[in-house]
Copies of this chain bind each other. A is one copy, B any other.
Amino acid sequence: MGQLIKGKPAADAVTVHLIEEVKNLKRKNIIPKLTIVRVGKNGSDMAYERGATKRCNSIGIEIAIKELPEDISQQSFIDELKKINEDSTTDGIMVFRPLPKQLDEDIIKHLIDPNKDVDCFNPLNMSKLLEDDNSGFSPCTAAAVIEILDYYKIKIEGKRVVVIGRSMVVGKPLSLLLLNRNATVTICHSRTQKMENICSQADIVVVCIGKSKIINKSYIKSGAAVIDVGINVDTNGALCGDVDTENCIEKVGMITPVPGGVGSVTTSILAKQVVMACKRQNNI
């Protein structure tokens, strides 16, 4: 029987550490601050925002929400973003994506101050992942996967890791983070042939494709660690991951549940990167 590894203990460990860090900063009269930019009232954005607010409050990070109208023009959005870039009290900025269609992400992504870009929206930070330059920021979900692996002492170096999915928010940056940690990484995707064969060689399988319970035990090597990044709604209306956890639990070494797995760690990573941004901006 495999071990169900929950996100909460990993998130709590990060939080405990950050509380100490923020205390030390406050002694120097520095208060880390995150500004969240949300366009419209998307339900899942607002749910994430509540989670992030709660997490930041518990750590002592100040949080500001900039809600912008759903039909905001490109120029008005850019003006607002520039104001936040220039706001010296803001250390970290997170912009909910995807943005509405009238806003051109390919232009906007270059305009967020890379030093405040705590969710790795700006290509300059993305290219730092590629260069194994840790002076930037990682996308929070990708970094949350690494945090869980580290918390549960799952060795990355030298291990065979299969990442299923190649999105710009999880699959690709996560593959780079794993490569930078000296894993031997294979990226699988919709065009991959014989995926079961490839996956079942992996010591660690990370699934981030966004399809309900699509990965079963035939993809998993006995004893492997499985990290499920998917958050889907199953036919009964319940939350589920990309992995059929029940089907796999007997075979895996460890597996993250959905809900309660990777998703529980992302806001702590966001907070971690806000504190990191704050320290860098204050040369600490």
Measured in the bound complex, the distance between the Cα atoms of B127 and A263 in whole Å is 26
Are A191 and B158 in contact, CB atoms less than 8 angstroms apart? yes
Stretch of A37-45, A178-186, A219-227 on the interface side: A178-186
Identical subunits present: 2
Task: Give the residues in chain B near A168, CB-CB below 8 Å.
Answer: 130-131
Q: Known A127-B124, A160-B198; judge A187-B179 contact (CB<8 A).
A: yes
- A179 CB to nearest chain B CB (Å): 6
Within residues 124 to 183 of chain A, which ones have a CB less than 8 A from any CB in chain B? 124, 126-128, 130-131, 133, 157-160, 166, 168, 172, 179, 182
Measured in the bound complex, the distance between the Cα atoms of B131 and A124 in whole Å is 12
Are A189 and B193 in contact, CB atoms less than 8 angstroms apart? no
Task: Give the residues in chain B near A130, CB-CB below 8 Å.
Answer: 123, 126-127, 130, 168, 172
Q: Is A192 an interface residue, CB under 8 A from the partner?
A: yes
Task: Give the residues in chain B near A191, CB-CB below 8 Å.
Answer: 157-158, 182, 184
Task: Give the residues in chain B near A182, CB-CB below 8 Å.
Answer: 189, 191
- A159 CB to nearest chain B CB (Å): 8
Task: Give the residues in chain B near A184, CB-CB below 8 Å.
Answer: 186-189, 191-193, 198
Interface size on A, residues (CB 8 A): 28
- A198 CB to nearest chain B CB (Å): 7
SS of A interface (majority): mixed
- A257 CB to nearest chain B CB (Å): 28
- A194 CB to nearest chain B CB (Å): 8
CB-nearest residue of chain B to A168: B131
Task: Give the residues in chain B near A193, CB-CB below 8 Å.
Answer: 158-160, 184
Within residues 176 to 215 of chain A, which ones have a CB less than 8 A from any CB in chain B? 179, 182, 184-189, 191-193, 198
Are A187 and B185 in contact, CB atoms less than 8 angstroms apart? yes
Seed contacts A123-B130, A166-B179, A186-B186; 18 additional CB < 8 Å A-B pairs: A123-B123, A123-B127, A126-B127, A127-B130, A130-B168, A158-B192, A159-B193, A160-B193, A160-B198, A179-B189, A182-B189, A182-B191, A184-B186, A184-B187, A184-B188, A184-B193, A184-B198, A185-B187
Mark A residues whose CB is within 8 Å of B: 106, 123-124, 126-128, 130-131, 133, 157-160, 166, 168, 172, 179, 182, 184-189, 191-193, 198
